[in-house]
């Protein structure tokens, strides 16, 4: 199968890559570009472990073809921290023990970021509504929801 | 809540950030599927489309010619595995059966049973080439339900299997799908029933449910030219993988190196091996490193679930006393023997001080995937049955259900059904804390609302651990361990070492290393790691303290008895001006005898069992059958909470898995044995919107078998939720549900008399 030449912006850097039309964004991120922070849990859009931002919207990377990202802006979990400066969500997840095995964590943080970008001060129900597309089997969600609320409060204070 | 016995700690009980946390929130942690090696190729597995079929022939010749295909394997590539039993943490396995489950030989025993595998340049090429393998099957009738499988005329999975009675070792004359029968009895059940105020008899069923870890099974292997093998995999036990792979492939143990990657959940489901020997053989044939990762459908169809069950309970009460329990437990093992029915029968009565009991336990094979351990394996279904009946007995006797449990509670000295007397346990304290909880003292009001409670017990494990602790010259410490960290044990072990040595937590850097780099460690299972590897960490810390005391004594020219080690400082009892901090002593290691390294390898005994009691409020929508969890409180004896946040997290996670099991999760098979809901869309696990925050009450009754009182905490929280929710629904609707899941469909049908 011949490959297509794609140019996109990934985590604030211009990139180029070759992709087969059948390859998903998830596959290309992980296997061609080497960014494995985006996780595969189901490969059919039901677990949210591969959540990334595509032109400012949160999407399941397994349900986007890599060739669709031509000219687009993609943000993955690797694009959130700046050097050793963690994103407030990342810091809150650590402090609140919001991860156990951690495989779903990148997806949750990306979905939470998409929420806080739109609604900086959500209540608990809004947080739960926005994160309902992400499955976690370890935590029972309690500490994840608390971490997102904490990050939201901190980001509001910092403004 | 803390009992008075607890000493004051400086590190234990605090909530520091876990050492592996930053890598995990930034996406840099390397999980099983994240490994990439030069020359890596990819494998896919061909699986049986039939639930039960004889394999007449497998022709791989066309697939081998497919462009891009580099190797093909079938069961013919596996050495004939010995019919022998290998201990695997919480369960023992038969190596021949492990081998047959990895690649089917004469029969496919469930839909999804692996038949062959192909390694190719890309996973897409491997997948396309699978279609070119020709398999000739003689399709046989499947048997899918435990009661059907126990019938005399049931289709047999294995014509030579006979029922083994475990008390006597006797084998049945006729072949059967019942692999084992066991019985635990004490007292006089019939006499107790005859003199009781009330006797209640109920039948319960549960369906197979999956562990539901988010990371699918994955394995990468490189067969080296010198005949050694390296495997990178995500597993609860690197040493168990090494042991099983060496058995299945007939390799010396030290020819296999297993590198544990970070693990994306397991809950018992990542104790067995599936892909590891397959990618190893493909690597041997192709000369390339080979990686295979399961799809979610493969995970559902071919790995892990826990047993579907049929349980009959007959129990009696007199006044406020539980007087007798008779039960028959039948558990589906899947395609090969080994259901957790033993643990189910041995845990179900543990919350009670009960003289008269008669339990019959059957392990039964069916044409579904071989079950794997799932969090307190066997206990939740058994607790669902007994705790539902106890609720009915208490109601009938007009006794508050928690008061009933308190009156009948097991305590130190009470014997379990296997005859073993409990050491110090916290069952009574837990029930008492539940009775006094803000949740239980609050009113529950409103139509279609109800409250339920239930208790549960899990043994917890000890087993083998090895650790090495290296003290560096700047006073920092490397803690080298071999236990999979599945949810914060790097932190809980480093904290115990910091406590032992009296040094700051953040001076310790823990690492989970490969099987070449540390002595044997049993699996992360049985809620054992913080307990048993914690015990090893304590022993290694004491080893370092002894070495430092000896060196300080030499430096000061005094006897070792004249040196004390307290809170990270060495003091001379003869001369109070002489003292050295841990850091100062570490800096002098080269001048005082060389590197200071502590180590411990041990078989941990004295694991303390754990009890939990859960309280749940529900609201039932009579029109849609939807059950809303309004409030949930989990009370548990946690021994000593080393890192309370991760203890709470274990309890919350276990409770929510139990909520899913109670309300929605089930393996749904059609009559041909096809799993029709093998995706996260159709296999409905709880989401953020399905559950409230889970309140936790940590009761700390220190385990006398551990220097810091640690009890395992991870498993017991999944035991009470099934019955607690059933009891709450009964309170809300007046209808007793005895079949799981209590899904909207079931509720609507049963509440409207349509079932």
pLDDT of B1 > 80? The answer is no
Strands B256-260 and B229-233, by their bridges, are parallel
Give percent above pLDDT 70 in chain B: 98
Q: Do residue B488 and residue A97 have CB atoms under 8 angstroms apart?
A: yes
Q: Do residue A135 and residue B656 have CB atoms under 8 angstroms apart?
A: no
CA distance A71 to chain B (A): 24
Contact with chain B for residue A121, Cβ under 8 A: no
Select from B265, B293, B693 the Cβ nearest to the Cβ of A103.
B265
- Secondary structure of B251-275 as H, E, C letters: CCHHHEEEEECECCCCCCCCCCCCC
What the block records as the tokens of A10 is: 């990934």
CB pairs under 8 A between A and B: 183
Confidence of residue B87 (pLDDT cuts 50, 70, 90): low
pLDDT of B714 > 80? The answer is yes
Of B468, B464, B30, nearest in space to B260 by CA: B30
Distance, CA of A129 to CA of B375 (rounded, Å):
28
Q: Which residues in chain B are closer than 8 Å to A100, comparing Cβ atoms?
A: 265, 486-488, 646, 649-650, 653
Q: What average pLDDT does the segment B151-155 reach? A: 97
pLDDT of B2 > 70? The answer is no
Pair B521, B465: CB distance under 8 Å: yes
Distance, CA of B422 to CA of B549 (rounded, Å):
38
Would you tell me the crossing angle of helices B489-501 and B534-556 to the nearest 10 degrees?
A: 30
Strands A73-75 and B694-699, by their bridges, are unpaired
**Could you tell me the end-to-end alpha-carbon distance of chain A, in angstroms, rounded to an integer?**
50
In a mutational test of the B interface, the residue from A103, A113, A127 whose CB has the highest number of chain B CBs within 10 Å is: A103
Low-confidence stretches of chain A (pLDDT beneath 50): none
CA distance A17 to chain B (A): 17
Q: Do residue B649 and residue A132 have CB atoms under 8 angstroms apart?
A: no
pLDDT at B678: 98
Distance, CA of B523 to CA of B240 (rounded, Å):
7
State the average pLDDT for chain B: 96
pLDDT at B95: 85
Question: Within a 10 A sphere around the Cβ of B414, how many other Cβ atoms?
Answer: 17
The phi and psi torsions of B97 (rounded to 5 degrees) equal -70, -35
pLDDT of B447 > 80? The answer is yes
Question: Helix, strand, or coil here: B182?
Answer: strand
For B174-220, how does the pLDDT look when each residue is reduced to its tens digit (9 = 90+)? Answer: 999 999 999 999 999 999 999 999 999 999 999 999 999 999 999 99
Q: Which residues in chain A are closer than 8 Å to B213, comparing Cβ atoms?
A: 101, 103, 137
pLDDT at B84: 65
Q: What average pLDDT does the segment B463-486 reach? A: 97
Q: What average pLDDT does the segment B128-147 reach? A: 98
pLDDT at B201: 98
Q: Look up tokens 């070119």; give the residue.
A: B132
Distance, CA of A84 to CA of A102 (rounded, Å):
19
pLDDT at B754: 85
Confidence of residue B7 (pLDDT cuts 50, 70, 90): confident
Contact with chain B for residue A40, Cβ under 8 A: yes
Kind and range of the H or E run holding B448: none
pLDDT at B91: 57
Residues 6+ apart with CB under 8 A from B464: B520, B521, B522, B532, B601, B602, B603, B604
What the block records as the tokens of B133 is: 């393998």
For B536-556, how does the pLDDT look when each residue is reduced to its tens digit (9 = 90+)? Answer: 999 999 999 999 999 999 999
CA distance B347 to chain A (A): 23
In a mutational test of the B interface, the residue from A60, A109, A142 whose CB has the highest number of chain B CBs within 10 Å is: A142
For B333-372, how does the pLDDT look when each residue is reduced to its tens digit (9 = 90+)? Answer: 999 999 999 999 999 999 999 999 999 999 999 999 999 9
Answer whether the bond into residue B741 is a cis peptide, omega within 30°.
yes
What the block records as the tokens of A132 is: 């309902």
pLDDT at A159: 83
What the block records as the tokens of B287 is: 């000369």
Q: Which residues in chain B are closer than 8 Å to A81, comparing Cβ atoms?
A: 26
Pair B7, B702: CB distance under 8 Å: no
Of B579, B572, B503, nearest in space to B541 by CA: B503
pLDDT at B93: 72
Distance, CA of B158 to CA of B165 (rounded, Å):
18
pLDDT at B391: 98
In a mutational test of the B interface, the residue from A140, A145, A148, A149 whose CB has the highest number of chain B CBs within 10 Å is: A140
* Triad B620, B623, B626: Cα angle to 5°: 40
Q: What average pLDDT does the segment B438-467 reach? A: 97
Q: Do residue B216 and residue A134 have CB atoms under 8 angstroms apart?
A: no
Question: Helix, strand, or coil here: B44?
Answer: strand
pLDDT at B86: 66
Pair B78, B248: CB distance under 8 Å: yes
CA distance B679 to chain A (A): 8
Lowest mean pLDDT, pick from B3-7, B34-38, B396-400: B3-7
**Beta strands across the sheet bearing B134-139:** B107-108, B53-59, B134-139
> What would the DSSP string read from start to end of B66-85?
STTEEEEEEGGGS----S-E
């Amino acid at each position: 199968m011949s490959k297509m030449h794609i140019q996109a912006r990934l985590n604030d850097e211009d990139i180029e890559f070759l992709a087969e039309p059948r390859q998903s964004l998830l596959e290309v991120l992980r296997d061609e570009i080497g960014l494995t922070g985006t996780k595969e849990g189901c490969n059919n859009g039901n677990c949210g472990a591969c959540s990334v931002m595509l032109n400012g919207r949160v999407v399941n990377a397994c349900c986007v073809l890599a060739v669709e990202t031509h000219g687009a802006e993609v943000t993955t979990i690797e694009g959130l921290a700046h050097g050793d400066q963690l994103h407030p969500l990342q810091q809150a997840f650590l402090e609140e023990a919001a991860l156990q095995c951690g495989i779903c964590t990148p997806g949750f943080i990306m979905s939470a970021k998409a929420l806080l970008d739109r609604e900086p001060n959500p209540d608990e129900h809004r947080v739960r509504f926005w994160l309902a597309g992400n499955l976690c089997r370890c935590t029972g969600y309690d500490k994840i929801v608390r971490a997102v609320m904490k990050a939201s409060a901190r980001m509001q204070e910092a403004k | 809540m803390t009992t008075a016995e607890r000493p004051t700690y400086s590190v234990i009980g605090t909530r520091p950030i876990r050492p592996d946390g930053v890598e995990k929130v930034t996406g840099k942690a390397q999980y099983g599927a994240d490994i990439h090696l030069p020359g890596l190729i990819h494998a896919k597995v061909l699986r049986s489309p039939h639930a039960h079929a004889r394999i007449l022939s497998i022709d791989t010749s066309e697939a081998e010619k497919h462009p891009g295909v580099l190797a093909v394997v079938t069961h013919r590539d596996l050495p004939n595995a010995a019919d022998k039993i290998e201990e695997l943490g919480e369960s023992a396995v038969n190596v021949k059966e492990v081998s047959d489950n990895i690649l089917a030989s004469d029969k496919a025993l469930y839909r999804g049973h692996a038949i062959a595998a192909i390694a190719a340049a890309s996973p897409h090429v491997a997948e396309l080439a699978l279609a070119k393998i020709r398999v000739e099957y003689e399709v046989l009738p499947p048997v899918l339900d435990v009661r059907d499988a126990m019938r005399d005329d049931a289709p047999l999975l294995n014509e030579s299997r006979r029922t083994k009675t475990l008390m006597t070792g006797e084998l049945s004359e006729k072949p059967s799908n019942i692999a084992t029968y066991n019985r635990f009895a004490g007292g006089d059940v019939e006499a107790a029933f005859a003199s009781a105020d009330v006797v209640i008899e109920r039948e319960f069923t549960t369906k197979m449910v999956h562990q539901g870890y988010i990371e699918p099974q994955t394995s990468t292997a490189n067969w080296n030219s010198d005949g050694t093998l390296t495997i990178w995999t995500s597993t609860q036990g690197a040493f168990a993988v090494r042991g099983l792979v060496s058995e299945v492939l007939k390799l010396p143990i030290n020819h296999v190196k297993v590198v544990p990657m970070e693990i994306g959940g397991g809950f018992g489901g990542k104790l067995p091996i599936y892909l590891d020997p397959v990618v190893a053989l493909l690597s041997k044939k192709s000369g390339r490193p080979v990686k295979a990762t399961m799809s979610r459908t493969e995970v559902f169809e071919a790995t892990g679930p826990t047993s579907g069950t049929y349980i009959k309970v007959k129990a009696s009460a007199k006044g406020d006393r539980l007087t007798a329990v008779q039960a028959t437990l039948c558990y589906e093992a899947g395609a090969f023997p080994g259901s957790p029915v033993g643990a189910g029968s041995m845990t179900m009565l543990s919350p009670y001080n009960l003289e008269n009991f008669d339990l019959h336990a059957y392990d039964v094979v069916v044409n579904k995937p071989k079950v794997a351990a799932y969090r307190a394996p066997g206990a939740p279904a058994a607790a669902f049955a007994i705790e539902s009946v106890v609720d009915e007995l208490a109601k009938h006797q007009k006794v508050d259900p928690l008061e009933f449990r308190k009156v009948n509670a097991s305590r130190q000295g009470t014997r379990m059904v296997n005859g073993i007397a409990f050491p110090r346990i916290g069952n009574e304290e837990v029930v008492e804390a539940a009775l006094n909880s803000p949740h239980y003292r609050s009113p529950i009001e409103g139509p279609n609302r109800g409250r339920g409670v239930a208790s549960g017990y899990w043994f917890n494990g000890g087993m083998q651990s090895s650790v090495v602790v290296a003290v560096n010259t700047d006073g920092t410490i490397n803690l080298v361990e071999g236990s999979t960290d599945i949810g914060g044990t790097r932190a809980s072990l480093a904290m115990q070492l910091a406590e032992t040595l009296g040094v700051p937590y953040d001076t310790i850097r823990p690492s989970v290393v490969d099987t070449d780099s540390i002595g044997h460690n049993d699996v992360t299972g049985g809620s054992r790691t913080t307990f048993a590897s914690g015990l090893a960490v304590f022993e290694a810390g004491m080893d370092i303290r002894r070495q430092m005391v000896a060196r300080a004594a030499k430096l000061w020219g005094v006897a070792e008895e004249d040196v004390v080690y307290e809170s990270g400082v060495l003091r001379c009892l003869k001369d109070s001006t002489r003292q050295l901090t841990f850091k100062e002593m570490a800096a002098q290691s080269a001048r005082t005898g060389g590197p200071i390294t502590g180590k411990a390898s041990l078989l941990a005994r004295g694991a303390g069992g754990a009890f939990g009691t859960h309280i749940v409020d529900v609201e039932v929508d009579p029109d849609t059958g939807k059950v809303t969890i309004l409030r949930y409180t989990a009370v548990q004896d946690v021994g000593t909470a080393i890192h309370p946040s991760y203890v709470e997290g274990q309890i919350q996670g276990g409770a929510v898995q139990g909520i899913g099991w109670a309300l929605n999760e089930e393996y749904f098979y059609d009559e041909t044995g096809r799993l029709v809901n093998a995706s996260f869309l159709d296999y409905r696990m709880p989401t953020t919107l399905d559950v409230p925050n889970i309140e936790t009450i940590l009761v700390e009754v220190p385990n006398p078998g551990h220097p810091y009182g640690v009890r395992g905490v991870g498993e017991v929280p999944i035991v009470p939720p099934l019955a607690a929710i059933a009891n709450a629904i009964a309170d809300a609707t007046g209808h007793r549900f005895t079949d799981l899941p209590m899904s909207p469909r079931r509720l609507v049908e049963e509440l409207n008399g349509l079932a």
